[in-house]
Amino acid sequence: MSKISIMSEDLSNKIAAGEVVEKTMNVVKELVENSIDAKAGSIRIDLKDSGVLEIKVIDDGIGMDKDDALLCFERHATSKLHNINDLFNIASLGFRGEALPSIASVSKVILKTSNGKVGTTVKINGGVLESVEGSDIRRGTSITVSNLFYNTPVRLKYLRSLYAELANITEYVNKMALAYPNIKFILTNNDKELLNTDGSGNLLKVINSIYGLAVTKKMIEIDGENNDFHIMGYTSYPEINKSNRNNITILVNNRVIKNYDVIKTIHECYHTFMAQDKYPITVLNILADPFLIDVNVHPTKMDVKFSKLDDLKELITNTITKKLKETLLIQEGVINTDFVMDKIEKTEIKEAYYNPPVEEVTLNFEVHDDNQLYLDSGIKDEKKAKINFDEREELIPVHEVKIKPIKPIGACHGTYIIGENEDGIYIIDQHAAAERINYEKCYKAILSHSKNIIDLLVPITIELPSNEYIILKKHFDILDRLGFVYEEFGVNTIVIRSHPVWLPDYALNEAIRKIIDIIVTEEDFSELKFSDRISMTMACKMSIKGNDAITLADMEYLLNKLVQTDNPYTCPHGRPTIISYTKYDLEKMFKRALD
């Protein structure tokens, strides 16, 4: 007797449902994508108990006739693929023909649809067709999925809490609204409205509906292209960030996807602009020839493979980095949202972008005659804290910046410099500002492979455990590149006889040991990443600290050096260096100006 048999269609659909329908969000995803493929201009999603009890999706798309209404519940029935060539040129969101039969096999489904000529109602219970009737001829489709997983209790048991299921659905619908700002999305749960977009095509208005006006004001337009890809969308100022990557929305030809490489690339663009454990709010739509992408990786169609991924990453890096450098990123002490909505409303729909205007001013800087800056420290013995701003090196080229000259007028709490100009007042963190200056100085010195060194009167001897010394010996070329003069001495010991000029001589021994620690523990010896890590470490040690008393002349010198940096807005760790209060904000707080 044969042991092998072909499984029934009902059983195969339930197995497929395990891949396609894992939670309530998957049902919403498949139904919404069908509505979009049906050219809907409005989609309404009504939930009961986070979709566990009922999910209802209503659209005004092209609808179906009676034959298609029945055929759509057959496995592998689809209107999107007709031959093998179509598989490599997928433009629709759905194409497998598995979603509806899989959903119907584990729930109760009522489908009402009309193409404007004939209306049809189809009722299916657990994959079994119960009835087919006529209905009204309002063009569009309404599909109701109730009692999800009622006939597969094991899967029902592993659904998460109602709050978690609702959060997943809301996150997905938000992303779809961002992907299709020209479609009106309405989401409700137990008759409570969670999202309502206007479908005007203005992406910034959708961002406002989801994140609020304060975030909307702090979004930067992204628009770039190369021979194969065109990227467009918005990304947030560094001060607007989240503790996870869920708010980075990646779209490929308006399809919501998840791609770790793209998310990592966006995150790396914000290096030194924000803390490493923070992520920006980003909406990035990648437009490409369907031939360059493969969406047929997983039944959920969320995973996508790219051809020419390196070219795409380079485009994203260049575009976002350029925008961050061009944008005035001083944090506002008071977020002024006046008139922002008026500007959003006036955004041209064809661009769907809004970019706040900023005034660009070129500064003229004065260079102090003194080659070193000595600051009074808070140490009891009143020793001087030496901060190395060595003018013997070539100054960072003066470039056009958007910060008007700031005149220091004092300090508070021994840590924050208070400055002013005709636009308002500024609060500057003296340690963060000095860190940024010293970071860029060290970073550029390392990458320049400068051979400017200082001979030590007393050589520094460093002894390491044998395992660490073996690694260090393997990477002696790094010490050579940094500008150290050294020699091996005895067993597992190295003697440093000269060091590069950018090292702080007041903490030299500690700094050299820290560099060696980085060398023996670093896994990625990319020159840029390695130089960045050393520069961040050295900058922290070289910089003035909080509660270090400094004079007005020192403050002025520090501010002039800060605005010459490539990124004067944050320290290397991503903390803000400067916060502003505009003159209008001050007058508003003191009731001198009316709202």
Q: Dump the DSSP string for 213-233.
A: HHHHHTEEEEEEE-SSEEEEE
- Asked: is 9-196 a CATH 3.30.565.10 domain? The reply is yes
Cite the residue boundaries of each domain of the chain with CATH code 3.30.1540.20: 359-595
Q: What is the dihedral of CA 463, 467, 468, 471, to 10 degrees?
A: 130
For the record, the structure tokens of 502 come out as 């950018």
Q: Which band of pLDDT confidence, cut at 50, 70 and 90, is reported for residue 102? A: confident
Rounded Cα distance between 487 and 510, Å, is 19
Q: How many CB atoms lie within 10 A of CB 330?
A: 17
Alpha-carbon torsion 292, 322, 224, 286, what sign? positive
Condensed to tens digits (0 to 9), the pLDDT of residues 109-162 reads 999 999 888 899 999 998 888 889 888 878 999 999 998 887 776 566 667 788
Cite the residue boundaries of each domain of the chain with CATH code 3.30.230.10: 203-345
At 347 the pLDDT is: 61
> How do 305-306 and 293-294 pair as beta strands?
antiparallel
Q: What angle do CA 158, 162, 166 make, to 5 degrees?
A: 110
> What pairs with residue 385 in β-bridges?
375
**pLDDT more than 70, % of the chain:** 77
For the record, the structure tokens of 441 come out as 């100085």
At 196 the pLDDT is: 94
Closest CA to 57 of 75, 80, 37: 37
Phi-psi group of 63: left, alpha or beta (phi > 0 → left; psi -120 to 50 → alpha; rest → beta): left
At 482 the pLDDT is: 86
Q: Which band of pLDDT confidence, cut at 50, 70 and 90, is reported for residue 265? A: very high
Task: Kindly state the DSSP code that residue 65 receives in the 8-state scheme.
Answer: -
Give the residue carrying structure tokens 């001589």. 505
Residue 369, amino acid = D
pLDDT score of 394 more than 60: no
At 48 the pLDDT is: 93
Condensed to tens digits (0 to 9), the pLDDT of residues 303-323 reads 678 888 899 999 999 999 999
At 341 the pLDDT is: 56
pLDDT score of 18 more than 50: no
At 176 the pLDDT is: 93
CB 282 within 8 Å of CB 269:
no
pLDDT score of 193 more than 80: yes
At 389 the pLDDT is: 36
Distance, first Cα to last Cα, the chain: 87
| CATH code of the domain made up of 203-345 | 3.30.230.10
Q: Which band of pLDDT confidence, cut at 50, 70 and 90, is reported for residue 397? A: very low
From the candidate CATH numbers 2.70.50.60, 3.40.50.10680, 3.30.1540.20, 3.30.479.10, the one assigned to the domain spanning 359-595: 3.30.1540.20
pLDDT score of 94 more than 80: no
Rounded Cα distance between 518 and 543, Å, is 20
Q: Which band of pLDDT confidence, cut at 50, 70 and 90, is reported for residue 346? A: low
pLDDT score of 88 more than 50: no
pLDDT score of 507 more than 80: no
Cite the residue boundaries of each domain of the chain with CATH code 3.30.565.10: 9-196
At 321 the pLDDT is: 92
Q: Which band of pLDDT confidence, cut at 50, 70 and 90, is reported for residue 414? A: confident
At 582 the pLDDT is: 85
Q: Which band of pLDDT confidence, cut at 50, 70 and 90, is reported for residue 444? A: confident
Q: How many CB atoms lie within 10 A of CB 248?
A: 21
Rounded Cα distance between 459 and 493, Å, is 13
At 172 the pLDDT is: 92
> How do 42-48 and 184-189 pair as beta strands?
parallel
| Helix (H/G/I), strand (E/B), else coil: 366 | coil
Condensed to tens digits (0 to 9), the pLDDT of residues 354-386 reads 333 333 333 333 333 433 333 333 333 333 333
DSSP 290-349: GGGEE-TTSTT--B-EESSHHHHHHHHHHHHHHHHHHS--PEESS---TTHHHHHHTS-T
Burial of 460: CB neighbours in 10 Å, binned 0-12, 13-18, 19+: middle
Alpha-carbon torsion 451, 457, 461, 462, what sign? negative
For the record, the structure tokens of 555 come out as 């403050």
Closest CA to 248 of 579, 486, 257, 108: 257
At 306 the pLDDT is: 84
At 359 the pLDDT is: 36
Q: Please give the model's pTM, rounded to 2 decimal places.
A: 0.71
At 263 the pLDDT is: 93
Task: Report, as an integer, the average pLDDT of 261-278.
Answer: 90
At 7 the pLDDT is: 53
Among 70-84, 220-234, 416-430, 446-460, the minimum mean pLDDT is found in: 70-84
CB within 8 Å of 486: residues ≥ 6 apart? 476, 479, 494, 495, 496, 497
pLDDT score of 526 more than 60: yes
DSSP 167-207: HHHHHHHHHHHHH-TTSEEEEEETTEEEEE---SS-HHHHH
Residue 408, amino acid = P
For the record, the structure tokens of 125 come out as 């219970």
Measure Cα distances from 540 to 58, 385, 575 in Å. 57, 14, 13
